[in-house]
Amino acid sequence: MATKIKTRFFCQECGYETAKWLGQCPGCKAWNSLVEEPVSVTAGGKEKKQVLSGVQSAPAVLNEISMEEERRTETGMGELDRVLGGGIVTGSLTLVGGDPGIGKSTLLLQMCRNLSLKKQHILYVSGEESLRQIKMRAMRIGDFSDTLELFCETNLNRIEEVIQQKKPQIVIIDSIQTMYNEAVSAAPGSVSQVRESTGVLLRLAKGLGISIFIVGHVTKEGTVAGPRVLEHMVDTVLYFEGDRHASYRILRGVKNRFGSTDEIGVFEMRQEGLTEVLNPSEFMLNGRPAGASGSVVSCSMEGTRPMLTEIQALVCHSNFGIPRRQTTGTDFNRVNLLMAVLEKRLGMQIGGCDAYVNLAGGIRITEPAIDLGIVMAIMSSFKNSPVPEGVVAFGEVGLSGEVRAVSMAEQRVREAQKLGFTTCILPQVCLEKMPKISGIRLVGVRSVADAAREL
């Protein structure tokens, strides 16, 4: 039957489809997110839809399903295995997103090198780089075995044929925005193409038991470009974060069907590629000033890993009618709230002062456990009184000025003790349940007034 082309409007956030343009998406309530794309229609008026379902199977009784431990393959990179939940699960579909030039392709190529040395059959499909460009990057990383095959192609139908013919164990798609499906008339990178192409890869991963990694570009808001439904289709979503001008990178899992989403992996970008940072606390505290006011070390938890971070604050009288507030690495509204608590509960006249709060190293933390560290840094800068050396503080601060308990307090204290800190200021509730730890003095506080007395 002959086909004719008509256009539909798709939401870039959730994939909602409508026949006319709307200012607000009825599905996700996002504004100005609908884009127009062509759709192939048969002469009978029915849209062509690609069948993406796998082999049909009969319904199964829940109690009759055998529970077998999923097979995992270690990547040879401990930080990547931590975020994945212990390794690569066979038949999984993983989406890796990040800013351009952040190191996504380098990370996956290093993973391919480690797996190829274990004689794993890997197919690296690139739609953005030539074979020579990939070879130049691979020469900086190290030697590869013959089990890694490179394929430069953007036609997903051709890629599907090669995967079914070669049957590799690991497949890398770099990137999904460059792939196009011949059954979809839209342009590569459009909502329809990204969604349908991911559906084809999902069917291949589940049907053939192949672990597939997809590289996804991100928008200016920091989310993966394309419909939000793309993140719902895959098993794992990883974001590679960090400042391009800084040396470290953070791999964060925001979705993981086979493990925790709270873990992070820390890497350092070097000439030979990405190097794992086994002790992020020591790395973040490198170069901390001695005897400077407004500098306090606090401890946050990233999954099961405690991480010490330096919090810097600068408070000075404003020369304008409206004081300026600025934060880097933490929530702006949270800092304003804590300053209001100090002014109300301690009588500190900081309402007319400029305030700048920075988490050194460029890391971003929103955990409430660093509230006490922010409060102490602001007090130290306002009074121009340095915090004594060897002090670390953590705890959540409420609107009444109370210091509330935080989770996993013992792990935070042991991390501080391991790095040589001699005093830890923590909530009194946590101190009452804390076992005795040698080599560090524990000070429990019930309110910000108690913390101020410790300064």
The whole-chain average pLDDT of the chain stands at 87
What is the mean predicted confidence (pLDDT) over 398-404? 96
* pLDDT above 60: residue 45: no
Any idea how long the chain is?
455
Confidence of residue 284 (pLDDT cuts 50, 70, 90): confident
* pLDDT above 90: residue 38: no
Share of the chain above pLDDT 70, in %: 91
Task: Count other C-beta atoms under 10 Å from residue 118's C-beta.
Answer: 12
**pLDDT computed for residue 280 by the predictor:** 87
List Cα–Cα distances, 84 to 152, 415, 450, in angstroms.
27, 24, 42
Cα separation of 117 and 140, whole Å? Answer: 16
Task: Count other C-beta atoms under 10 Å from residue 368's C-beta.
Answer: 17
- Do the Cβ atoms of 52 and 202 come closer than 8 Å? yes
pLDDT digits (tens, 9 = 90+) for 246-267: 778 889 998 999 888 888 899 9
* pLDDT above 60: residue 52: no
Cα separation of 399 and 157, whole Å? Answer: 59
Confidence of residue 401 (pLDDT cuts 50, 70, 90): very high
**pLDDT computed for residue 354 by the predictor:** 95
230 burial type by CB count under 10 A (0-12 exposed, 13-18 middle, 19+ buried): buried
Could you tell me which CATH number the domain at 283-454 has? Answer: 3.30.230.10
Binding residues for ATP: 98-105
**pLDDT computed for residue 29 by the predictor:** 85
**pLDDT computed for residue 228 by the predictor:** 65
Cα separation of 40 and 29, whole Å? Answer: 27
Tell me the CATH class for 72-278: alpha beta
Binding residues: 98-105
428 burial type by CB count under 10 A (0-12 exposed, 13-18 middle, 19+ buried): middle
**With left for phi above 0 and alpha for psi between -120 and 50, is residue 222 left, alpha or beta?**
left
* pLDDT above 90: residue 368: yes
Q: What is the pTM of this model?
A: 0.79
**pLDDT computed for residue 216 by the predictor:** 87
